[in-house]
């Protein structure tokens, strides 16, 4: 846009320059990331050319599997199954973990009593929880999602408990003097203070959950990315294994960039502008 340059107003003249600068600042990390990934692909291609092996297919083979399964709908189906399990387990773990965490953070005695339980669950291996869940509740969808949620809940509890401990008493007192309704207190006083902790729990949560979901699918489901990986492991089809994992990683990245980050920017907009 060159329109601004002709005008005598300094503010108007500044704008296109600033916009260009902003574009550069936002665009540069993206370009760098793309170049970096491209470099990795090239390295992979070269390495696969030097040591040709069925166990180490070049990226072109992976791409071929990806397009094949994308065309026949297999890829979308299994990705969707895994994605819905991730979403369900995530939602369950965040809700249950947040409620327990906030309650423990606010009530010191309850916290002292339940802390050993928390330590126990924190250190229970994911595999044990999954196996027990399948034994007790059968090879069902509920057992699968529940097992994943139970693995994540203790982490959420710990983070949210810290958040509840850090609540500012001045806001609570203000809310009490002005007789805010319980709903308003939760919406306007409690949740905004807990938001950074919620964001932290949710970031580490999504990454952990989707990895556990694959294990759950491998052990007791007949669809999903985990199941496909298990299947191709038995067929020794490394290209397919890589195709499915990379596709899912890409989806999780897109969720991070287009869902999580914009939401965080919105939730912390009051911090961004300097005084």
Partner 1 sequence: MQPVGAAAPLKVDIREKTFRSAEGVTLVALEGLSFEVRQGEFACLFGPSGCGKTTTLRILMGLDRQFSGKVQLPEGGSNRVAAVFQEPVLLPWRTVEQNVRLALPRNMRDADLGHLFDLLGLSGLEALYPSELSLGLARRAALARAFAIEPALLFLDEPFASLDEPTADRLRHLLMRVWSARPTTALMVTHNLREALLLADRIVVLSPRPAHVAGIFDVCISRHSRDAQALDDLVSEFRMRFPDEV
Closest CA to 156 of 194, 110, 116, 107: 194
Sole window of 5-13, 106-114, 115-123, 265-273 interacting with partner 1 (rule: CB under 8 A): 265-273
Nearer to partner 1 by Cβ, of 172 and 223: the residue is 172
Give me 103's structure tokens.
């309650």
- Residues contacting partner 1: total by CB under 8 A: 20
Contact between residue 13 and residue 5 where contact means Cβ atoms under 8 Å apart: yes
Is residue 270 a contact residue for partner 1 (CB under 8 A)? yes
Nearer to partner 1 by Cβ, of 25 and 266: the residue is 266
Nearer to partner 1 by Cβ, of 87 and 267: the residue is 267
Residue 108 Cβ, how far from partner 1 at the closest point, in Å? 15
Nearer to partner 1 by Cβ, of 140 and 268: the residue is 268
Residue partners of 4: CB distance under 8 A and separation at least 6: 12, 13, 14, 15, 16
Residue 136 Cβ, how far from partner 1 at the closest point, in Å? 43
**Cross-strand partners of 56:** 53
**Cross-strand partners of 53:** 56
Residue partners of 109: CB distance under 8 A and separation at least 6: none
Q: Which of residues 225-254 bind partner 1 (CB under 8 A)?
A: none
| 3-class DSSP assignment, residue 181 | coil
Residue 102 Cβ, how far from partner 1 at the closest point, in Å? 17
Contact between residue 238 and residue 44 where contact means Cβ atoms under 8 Å apart: no
Q: Which of residues 140-199 bind partner 1 (CB under 8 A)?
A: 170-171, 173-174, 176-181, 184, 188-189, 192, 195
Nearer to partner 1 by Cβ, of 70 and 191: the residue is 191
Per-residue HEC secondary structure of 158-174 comes to: HHHHHHHHCCCHHHHHH
Among 9, 25, 26, 271, binds partner 1 (CB under 8 A): 271
Contact between residue 220 and residue 144 where contact means Cβ atoms under 8 Å apart: yes
Nearer to partner 1 by Cβ, of 195 and 223: the residue is 195
Residue 178 Cβ, how far from partner 1 at the closest point, in Å? 4
* DSSP string for 228-250: HHHHHHHTT-HHHHHHHHHHHHH
Contacts with partner 1 by CB under 8 A lie at: 170-171, 173-174, 176-181, 184, 188-189, 192, 195, 270-271, 273-275
């Amino acid at each position: 846009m060159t329109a601004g340059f002709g005008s005598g107003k300094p503010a108007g003249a500044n704008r296109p320059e600033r916009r260009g600068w902003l574009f550069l600042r936002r665009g540069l990390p993206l370009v760098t990331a793309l170049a970096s990934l491209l470099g990795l692909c090239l390295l992979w291609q070269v390495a696969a050319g030097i040591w040709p092996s069925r166990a180490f297919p070049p990226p072109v083979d992976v791409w071929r599997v990806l397009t094949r399964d994308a065309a026949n709908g297999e890829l979308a189906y299994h990705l969707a199954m895994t994605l819905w399990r991730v979403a369900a387990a995530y939602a369950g773990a965040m809700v249950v973990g947040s409620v327990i965490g906030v309650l423990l953070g606010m009530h010191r005695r309850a916290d002292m009593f339940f802390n050993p339980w928390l330590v126990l669950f924190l250190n229970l291996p994911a595999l044990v929880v999954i196996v027990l869940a399948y034994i007790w509740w059968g090879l069902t969808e509920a057992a699968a999602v529940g097992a994943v949620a139970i693995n994540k809940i203790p982490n959420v509890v710990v983070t949210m408990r810290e958040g509840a401990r850090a609540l500012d008493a001045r806001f609570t007192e203000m809310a009490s003097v002005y007789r805010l309704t319980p709903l308003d207190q939760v919406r306007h006083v409690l949740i905004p203070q807990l938001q950074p902790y919620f964001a932290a729990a949710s970031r580490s949560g999504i990454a952990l959950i989707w990895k556990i979901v694959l294990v759950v699918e491998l052990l007791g489901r007949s669809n999903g990315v985990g199941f496909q990986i298990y299947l191709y492991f038995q067929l020794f089809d490394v290209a397919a294994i890589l195709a499915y994992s990379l596709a899912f990683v890409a989806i999780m990245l897109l969720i991070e960039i287009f869902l999580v980050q914009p939401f965080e920017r919105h939730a912390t907009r009051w911090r961004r502008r300097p005084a």
